[in-house]
């Protein structure tokens, strides 16, 4: 996964979009559901508490009435007297019994038993029958207490209560017994709780006394008792109910309200299933949107990446057309521009190299048979010496030196070496022109060691002599050097006839463009070309002239010295 | 230097984003869990469970109509909470043995004294002070088990189906006339069924194993899973005869079941039901209290009148309470064998040979079931 995320920018966009759309949705979903559950629980609990209070109140009130009734009967002389006589047909007692139980007979059956537990009087519609154990169960408990005692009943009786009728010396004469059936409880609790809830009454040991749904009694009560004993929360048998308990002080029993959960496990499962389904739908939607968005963002970047790859391979013809106006569109435009520029630059560079190669070819052609020429010059020199014509010997010697410098392998020489060649050349020319001109060389010492391409000054001097002062008797040529803007400027001026403006413009033009006429000023063109090829565009030759006032050719060169000399 | 700073910041930002994402994720997961669990929690203010020393756990083979009133009265008088689990006595003994000294109950209630004595190593010795009033014939051979009621074995039959020649005694169980018509529970589960097998061997002449085989053949591969099913099977006519405890038969008749009771002509065995405290139990003191309560006059009188069981106590118990006691007038009978005769059932032999008899029975039953 991590690898997948790191592999592509697109995957990261995709995942981010997915997370930021899906997470808040899930979060809200869970939060809302939780809030619903909590709200429902709180409202159900409030409702249950209110119902329990009402039920508890009803049971309290009934117990109080029972006690008042028992008080009246137990304190009655008629009751005592009848129980002493064990008589079962006292009208007075029946009238008393029915009078004191007048309001209560809908809630319970009332019996009066003798001290052996034999039922003598009853408010039941049937003839009084049956005997209760006096040393077991409710009567045993009643004989040990002076109050009304409560116990869970047996058989059809849900709850029994009994109080011993005692003589003045506290001997037990008989018992007043109250029996409540499940129907009595139904009547007592009716309308006090919602129809969806159920009531369970548990004895002090959490055995069921009454359940509003008798069929569920055993199952529900047993599981509640087990949960209580195990110290677990009360969830009943199915776990789909809330149980609210309220201990009843009077009877020692516990009232339990069984309330069905709104969000039962089944409902929760359904909700979870629906939420999951919705989540899945959202996930699919998010996947689709994230896919589209990441593709929209990623496509130009992928195109750019591929184009870069092509450029790396050397294909500069790639052209991106994103059709967009945003940042990615501008980025693509910039790339196109960069690729175009790079290609143009490369073409220029190739053209320059081709020119250099041509120049070098020409120079090599010029170097053809140099030894033959040199030997010939040597022969001429010795002929001059032999025939006593020293000028010939001198001419041949100087020419040989110039020729040797021309064909030597060093492309770059010092100004001093170049001046040496100029001297030789001037010596030759002074023989030819019989000192009709003078040449002044004014190169300060500091520039003597500067490096320049060889044979770049000689053509200028030659030009000044041939085209400037050749026809004059007081020709004057000056060669000087100066430093301007960090560059070296070497100038050759003459006081010759000058150059007409149109020719001058042509010359300055020519110096950049190869002349059509190979013979005319070819030297100047070559000088200019050599300097530019060596040092670049700003450097080269410029010519200034006023007709009749001579001309001045200036070379602009970078100041370079040998390393050891610099040091 | 500058680029490095930018890189560090990027890493930090990534970490922060990761932390936030992790936080969000865990929040969502936490809330999901809360919602999953929250719905199931009960908001009820649960009342506290009773203290450990106020609890008692009982396992019993008695029917609920017998043990429930006793347990409820015990709870009301002592305040001790009792939990009860029901099962066949031999089955329960096996479970106790399997618990290996850490039983989930405190007390075994019910089961013939022969079955209990056979497994006395599972119990803690306890001698109730009321043991002095137990009928001499029913005093336990060791002090680990306490008898509390006497249950004679009786034959029952369906009078609608077996009126002319009703069964007469143990011999009838081998009579081929009743083949396939005898209701009998698995003796490896039910203590009553085991007592029937042991009594068969002791009372009938001839080879014990052959008698067992004849009985197994007569059952015709039919065994009930619990002895409480015997009466129902006979009453509803699926079977014609069966052998049960006297009290069960009498209570069934009282409840309106159409069955008839025959005391075996050879004499019957009237062994007592016992109770015993389990070794390694959690509430030994409460179990002892319960045994004392079982032997008390109130319970003994109650089981006689309400459960139609015969008390294991003699008259000295009510005498000991004194003449002015309100319950002293109801004296337990000293002799209860007026209605029937007993043969000399050897409880010690029955207890000691239980394993052999059951092994032999299993083998025979497997052979006959093929």
Pick among A2, A5, A28, A136 to test the B interface (most B CBs inside 10 A): A136
**Is A377 among the domain residues?**
no
A194 in the same domain as A69: yes
Q: Which chain A residues touch B69 with a CB distance below 8 Å? A: 136-137, 154
Chain B residues close to A30, C-beta within 8 Å: 28, 31-32, 35
Please check whether residue B45 touches A, CB under 8 A.
yes
Is the CATH code 3.60.15.10 the one for domain B152-269+351-369? no
CB B246 within 8 A of CB B154: yes
In a domain, A392, yes or no: no
Q: Which two tokens stand for residue B305?
A: 């009148």
Within this chain, do residues A417 and A360 fall inside the same structural domain, yes or no?
no
Express as a percent the part of chain B with pLDDT over 90: 33
Asked whether residue A376 is assigned to any structural domain, the reply reads: no
**In a domain? residue A405:** no
Closest by CA position to B59, among listed B6, B24, B22, B98 = B98
**Residue whose token pair is 């056979």:** B118
DSSP-derived pairing of the beta strands A172-180 and A159-166: antiparallel
Residue A294 inside a domain? The answer is no
Distance between CA atoms of residues B193 and B222, nearest Å:
13
- Flag if B28 and A261 touch (Cβ within 8 Å): no
Residue carrying the six token digits 């890189």: B7
Residue spans in chain B of domains classed CATH 3.40.190.10: 53-150+273-313, 152-269+351-369
Q: Which of residues 272-301 of B touch A (CB under 8 A)?
A: 297-298, 301
Would A280 be classed as within a structural domain? no
Looking at the structure, tell me whether residues A416 and A485 fall in a common domain. Answer: yes
Residues A123 and A232 in one domain: yes
Coil/strand/helix, residue B314: coil
Question: Do A355 and A241 share a domain, yes or no?
Answer: no
Residue B102 CA to chain centroid, in angstroms? Answer: 19
* CA dihedral sign, ordered B45, B71, A137, A119: positive
**Residue B81 is nearest to which of A229, A234, A243, comparing CB atoms?**
A229
Cross-chain Cβ contact A133/B305 below 8 Å: yes
Question: Do residues A335 and A321 lie in contact, with contact meaning Cβ atoms separated by under 8 Å?
Answer: no
Residues A554, A489 contacting (CB under 8 angstroms) = yes
> Consecutive 10-residue runs of chain A (567 residues): their mean pLDDT?
75 79 81 87 88 92 92 89 83 88 90 89 83 88 90 88 90 92 91 88 90 82 88 80 87 88 81 86 83 80 86 84 81 88 90 86 69 82 88 86 79 89 88 85 90 88 86 88 91 86 74 55 79 83 85 90 60
pLDDT computed for residue B275 by the predictor: 93
Query: Is residue A80 located within the same domain as residue A138?
Result: yes
> For residue range B273-329, what is the model confidence (pLDDT) as tens digits?
899 999 999 999 999 999 999 999 889 889 888 888 888 888 766 666 544 444 434
Confirm if B125 and B140 have CB atoms less than 8 A apart.
Answer: no
**DSSP β-bridge partners for residue A32:** none
Q: Which residues contact A3 (CB under 8 A, 6 or more apart)?
A: none
| Residue of chain B nearest A154, judged by CA positions | B69
Q: A368: helix, coil or strand?
A: coil
Residue A97 structural domain: 27-260
Two structure tokens written together for A430: 């002074």
**Chain B neighbors of A34, CB-CB under 8 A:** 31, 34-35, 38
Clarify whether residues A414 and A360 are in a common domain.
Answer: no
Residue B276's pLDDT is 94
Which of A333, A348, A364 is a domain's end point?
A: A364
For residue B77, what is the nearest residue in chain A, using CA coordinates?
Answer: A141
**Are residue A68 and residue A185 in the same domain, yes or no?**
yes
Chain A's closest residue to B24, CA to CA, is: A23
Question: Which of B42, B50, B78 to mutate: most A Cβ within 10 Å?
Answer: B42
Beta carbons of A19 and B21 less than 8 Å apart? yes
Question: Which of B10, B20, B76 should one mutate to test binding to chain A, selecting the residue with the greatest count of A CBs within 10 A?
Answer: B76
Same domain, A444 and A531: yes
B72 CB neighbours in chain A (<8 A) are 152, 205, 207
Question: Does B69 sit within 8 Å of A154, measured CB to CB?
Answer: yes
Q: Under an 8 A CB cutoff, do A243 and B27 touch?
A: no
Judge: A34–B24 Cβ closer than 8 Å, yes or no.
no
Give A-chain residues touching B297 at CB under 8 angstroms. 135
Q: Do B28 and A242 touch (CB under 8 A)?
A: no
Output the pLDDT for position A10.
74
> ipTM of this model?
0.75
Q: Determine the 3-state secondary structure of A44 from DSSP.
A: helix
User: A145, A233, A240, A267: best mutation site toward chain B, by most B Cβ within 10 Å?
Assistant: A233
Which residue among B28, B46, B302 places its CB closest to the CB of A233? Answer: B46
Q: Is residue A16 part of a domain?
A: no
Positive/negative CA dihedral, A145, A150, A151, A153: positive
Give the number of domains in chain A. Answer: 3
Contact A135 B301 (CB under 8 A): yes
Q: Could you say which residues of chain B have pLDDT below 70?
A: 1-14, 17, 21-22, 24-25, 27-46, 316-338
Contacts of A231 in chain B (CB under 8 A): 48-49
Q: Say whether both A353 and A438 belong to one domain.
A: no
B255 touches chain A (CB under 8 A): no
Count CB pairs under 8 A between chains A and B. 100
- Is residue A13 assigned to a domain? no
Q: What is the pLDDT of residues B92-104, one digit of tens each?
A: 999 999 988 889 8
Q: Are A209 and A322 in a shared domain? A: no
d(Cα B44, Cα A243) in Å, to the nearest integer?
5
Which residues from chain B sit within 8 angstroms of residue A243, using beta carbons?
A: 42, 44
- A235, A260, A285 - which closes a domain: A260
- Please report how the helices A390-407 and A415-433 are oriented relative to each other, as an axis angle in degrees rounded to 10: 150
**C-alpha distance from B66 to closest chain A C-alpha (Å):** 13
Residue B33: predicted pLDDT = 57
As a CATH number, domain B53-150+273-313 is 3.40.190.10
> Last residue of some domain: A364, A398, A422?
A364
The two tokens of residue A473 are 């008797």
State the pLDDT at residue B21.
67
> Closest approach of chain B CAs to the CA of A493, in angstroms?
56
Token pair for residue A336? 């196109």
Residues of chain A positioned with their CB less than 8 A from the CB of B46: 228, 232-234, 245
């Amino acid at each position: 996964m991590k690898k997948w995320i790191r592999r592509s920018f697109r995957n990261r966009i995709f995942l981010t979009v997915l997370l930021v759309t899906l997470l808040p949705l899930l979060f809200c979903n869970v939060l809302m559901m939780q809030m619903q559950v909590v709200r429902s629980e709180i409202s159900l609990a409030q409702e249950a508490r209110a119902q329990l209070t009402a039920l508890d109140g009803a049971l309290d009130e009934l117990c109080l009435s029972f006690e008042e009734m028992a008080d009246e009967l137990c304190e009655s002389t008629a009751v005592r007297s009848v129980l002493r006589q064990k008589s079962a047909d006292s009208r007075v007692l029946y009238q008393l019994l029915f009078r004191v139980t007048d309001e209560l007979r809908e809630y319970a059956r009332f019996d009066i038993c003798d001290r052996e537990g034999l039922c003598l009087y009853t408010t039941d519609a049937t003839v009084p029958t049956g005997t209760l154990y006096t040393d077991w169960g409710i009567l045993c408990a009643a004989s040990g207490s002076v109050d009304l005692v409560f116990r869970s009943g047996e058989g059809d009786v849900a709850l029994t209560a009994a109080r011993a009728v005692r003589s003045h010396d506290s001997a037990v004469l008989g018992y007043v017994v109250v029996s409540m059936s499940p129907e009595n409880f139904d009547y007592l609790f009716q309308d006090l709780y919602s129809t969806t809830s159920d009531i369970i009454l548990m004895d002090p040991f959490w055995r069921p006394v009454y359940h509003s749904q008798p069929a569920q009694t055993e199952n529900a009560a047993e599981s509640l008792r087990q949960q209580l004993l195990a110290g677990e929360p009360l969830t009943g048998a199915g776990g789909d109910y809330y149980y609210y308990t309220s201990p009843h002080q009077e009877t020692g029993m516990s009232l339990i309200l069984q309330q069905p959960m709104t969000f039962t496990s089944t409902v929760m499962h359904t909700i979870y299933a629906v939420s999951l389904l919705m989540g899945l739908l959202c996930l699919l939607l998010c996947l689709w949107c994230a896919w589209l968005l990441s593709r929209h963002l990623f496509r130009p970047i992928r195109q750019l990446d591929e184009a870069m790859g092509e450029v790396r391979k050397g294909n500069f013809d790639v052209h991106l057309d994103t059709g967009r106006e945003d940042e990615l569109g501008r980025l693509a435009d910039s790339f196109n521009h960069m690729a175009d520029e790079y290609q143009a630059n490369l073409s220029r560079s190739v053209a320059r190299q081709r020119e250099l190669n041509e120049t070098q070819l020409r120079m090599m052609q010029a170097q053809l048979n140099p030894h033959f020429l040199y030997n010939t010059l040597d022969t001429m020199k010795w002929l001059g010496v032999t025939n006593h014509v020293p000028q010939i010997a001198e001419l041949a010697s100087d020419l040989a030196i110039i020729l040797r410098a021309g064909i030597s392998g060093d492309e770059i020489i010092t100004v001093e070496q170049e001046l040496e060649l100029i001297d030789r050349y001037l010596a030759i020319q002074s023989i030819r022109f019989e000192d009709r001109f003078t040449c002044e060389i004014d190169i300060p010492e500091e520039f003597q060691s500067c490096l320049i391409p060889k044979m770049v000054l000689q053509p200028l001097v030659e030009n000044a002599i041939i085209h400037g002062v050749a026809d004059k008797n007081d020709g004057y040529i000056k060669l000087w050097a100066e430093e301007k803007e960090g560059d070296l400027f070497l100038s050759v001026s003459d006081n010759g006839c000058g150059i007409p403006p149109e020719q001058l413009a042509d010359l300055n033009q020519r110096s950049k463009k190869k002349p059509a006429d190979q013979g005319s000023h070819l030297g100047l063109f070559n000088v200019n070309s050599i300097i530019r090829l060596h040092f670049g565009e700003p450097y080269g030759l410029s010519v200034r002239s006023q007709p009749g006032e001579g001309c001045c050719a200036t070379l602009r060169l970078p100041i370079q010295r040998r390393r050891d000399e610099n040091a | 230097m500058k680029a490095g700073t930018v890189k560090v910041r990027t890493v930090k930002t990534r970490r922060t984003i990761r932390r936030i994402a992790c936080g969000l994720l865990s929040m969502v997961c936490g809330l999901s869990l809360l919602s999953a669990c929250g719905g199931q929690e009960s908001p009820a203010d649960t009342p506290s469970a009773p203290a450990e020393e106020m609890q008692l756990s009982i396992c019993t083979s008695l029917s609920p109509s017998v043990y429930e009133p006793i347990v409820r009265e015990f709870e009301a008088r002592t305040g001790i909470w009792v939990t009860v689990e029901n099962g066949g006595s031999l089955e329960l003994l096996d479970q106790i043995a399997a618990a290996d000294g850490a039983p989930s109950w405190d007390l075994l209630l019910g089961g013939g004294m022969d079955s209990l004595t056979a497994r006395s190593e599972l119990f803690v010795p306890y001698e109730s002070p009321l043991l002095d009033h137990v009928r001499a014939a029913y005093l336990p051979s060791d002090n680990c088990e306490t008898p509390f009621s006497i249950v004679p074995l009786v034959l029952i039959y369906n009078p609608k189906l077996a009126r002319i020649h009703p069964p007469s005694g143990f011999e009838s169980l081998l009579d081929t006339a009743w083949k396939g018509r005898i209701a009998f529970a698995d003796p490896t589960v039910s203590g009553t069924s085991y007592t029937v097998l042991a009594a068969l061997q002791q009372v009938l002449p001839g080879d014990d194993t052959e008698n067992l085989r004849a009985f197994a053949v007569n059952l015709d591969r039919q065994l009930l899973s619990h002895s409480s099913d015997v009466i129902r099977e006979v009453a509803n006519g699926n079977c014609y005869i069966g052998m049960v405890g006297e009290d069960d038969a009498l209570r069934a008749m009282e409840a309106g079941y159409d069955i008839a009771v025959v005391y075996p002509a050879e004499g019957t065995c009237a062994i007592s039901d016992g109770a015993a405290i389990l070794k390694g139990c959690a509430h030994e003191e409460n179990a002892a209290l319960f045994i004392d309560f079982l032997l008390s006059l109130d319970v003994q009188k109650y089981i006689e009148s309400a459960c139609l069981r015969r008390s294991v106590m003699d008259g000295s118990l009510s005498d000991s309470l004194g003449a002015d006691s309100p319950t002293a007038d109801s004296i337990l009978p000293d002799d209860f064998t007026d209605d029937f005769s007993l043969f000399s059932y050897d409880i010690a032999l029955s207890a000691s040979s239980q394993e052999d008899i059951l092994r032999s029975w299993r083998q025979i039953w497997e052979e006959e079931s093929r």
